Chain A
Amino acid sequence: MPCYFAIIGAKDNPIYEAEFTSPQLNQFPPELKELNPFILHASLDIVEDLQWQTHPQAGGNTSTSGGFLRSRHSASNSNCYLGKIDHFYGLAITAYLSYGNMKFVMIHSSNSNNGAPVQIEDGPVKSFYQEVHELYVKTLMNPFYKLNDPITSPVFDNRVRALAKRYLTR
């Protein structure tokens, strides 16, 4: 499934963005392509609301687990991965927060054109976010990188795309 991914800084400034598509699969329709940043930024309000939620139900609304399992899930207390937070005409939006409150947001589109809502597999998406988080921490370890600066490293770009290939666009 085609995805549009962006890292949003603390001042709501994008510091990295990328689109993951593969030629054999469906792609973003060209007229919607440039709307992606708008759709993504529109969901930031929801991210900021969930950011300070003390009892998050991360992925709880998409998982099929029952009430008992869900309460155990939230007891594990991982509030970095927020799961699916928003949707927009069949597109699904997932989000992840780093410890320095960098927002990792992604738009998922479905493979088919029938407008069916996208099914998010929480497992691979979460793994993708965690791996990108690690790359981001490595970027931050660079003393020449300033907080909230755009990430322009081609190595970072390549690594993220390789991760997207492994986890998302299969």
Chain B
Amino acid sequence: MSQKIINPSTSVAPAKHSDSTGYDYTIGPQQTLPNAPSLSKATTSLPSVYNESLHASARNPQVSLAAYAFLFQELVTQARNASKSVSEIELRLHRNGYHLGIRLLELLNFRSSVSPGSKNFFKPGNSSQGVNVASSAFQEDSLAQGIANMKRRDLRMVEILQFIHGTVWSYLFGRVGDDLVKSSERENEFMIIDNSPLLTRFISSTNVQCDFFVCGIIEGILDSASFPCNVTAHSVPEQNFDQKVVFVVRFEPQVLEREALRS
């Protein structure tokens, strides 16, 4: 192994090669920069997440609803077969969504920092010819170069909820949420209302609340943005919208405390 990798000092995995120069606290981080150009060609040419573009139009942003419904149905079935109780099914769906949420927070915020006029903007027509464009843009695929100012981090409960209600909802479901309401009874309670949830459109008459998947997404976003909270879904059928779902977000007391201190 000619390439020296600095392992983070917390790395739990022990060095696999006895000759590898992992992190040694007695030496400290070792210099590897002079070796950097001698990076083996194999590592750079391999397909890697780092060679892909994060730009929204680098790939087709639309997914067939039928295919998605089928995938979601399989997800629910798998959760159902593995669980003993209704709440366990919901917990599993919740957990699946959570991992989506922590990624969406970073990705969508990063994307909205990119101004559409930047020089790295992919024209939608180019994305279909895929491979050539991607490989020629190999070194120039960095979007960050075109960013003058990153989007502001959301620091208040209302701001981050508006981000979910607006940006996240339109990314996931193609439209903004129907309403964002603050509870009149409790300070820490907010409600995101969706009159016709897209994911559970084809699911009816069940006592399992499949919208817990979306709850997981919301909680993942809020948790990784340091707004610890608890999200639950309640279906509230109405005359015009018989599938209306209310997502109730309950923030932990420390979030309120922080906001009171910093306002």
Given contacts A78-B150, A101-B225, A139-B49, is CB(A155)–CB(B34) below 8 Å?
no
A147 & B102 in contact (Cβ 8 Å cutoff): yes
Interchain nearest-CB distance for B174 vs A (Å) = 21
Q: Is chain B's interface secondary structure helix, strand, loop, or mixed overall? A: loop
Q: Which of A78, A138, A157 contacts B54 (CB 8 A)?
A: A138
Find chain B residues with CB under 8 A from A153 CB.
48, 50
Whether B31 is near chain A, meaning CB under 8 Å from some CB there, is yes
Whether B115 is near chain A, meaning CB under 8 Å from some CB there, is no
Find chain B residues with CB under 8 A from A155 CB.
43-44, 46, 48, 50
A17 & B29 in contact (Cβ 8 Å cutoff): yes
Number of A-B contacts (CB under 8 A): 156
Given contacts A155-B44, A169-B33, is CB(A137)–CB(B224) below 8 Å?
no
Given contacts A13-B10, A165-B33, is CB(A100)–CB(B102) below 8 Å?
yes
Complex CA gap A169/B99 in Å reads 37
Complex CA gap A137/B107 in Å reads 6
Interface residues of B (CB under 8 A from A): 3, 5-13, 25-34, 36, 39, 43-44, 46, 48-50, 52, 54, 99, 102-103, 105-107, 109-110, 142-145, 147, 149-153, 155-156, 224-226, 258, 262-263
Interface residues of A (CB under 8 A from B): 4, 10, 13-23, 27, 33-34, 36-37, 51-54, 76-81, 97-101, 127, 130-131, 133-143, 147, 150-159, 161-162, 164-165, 169
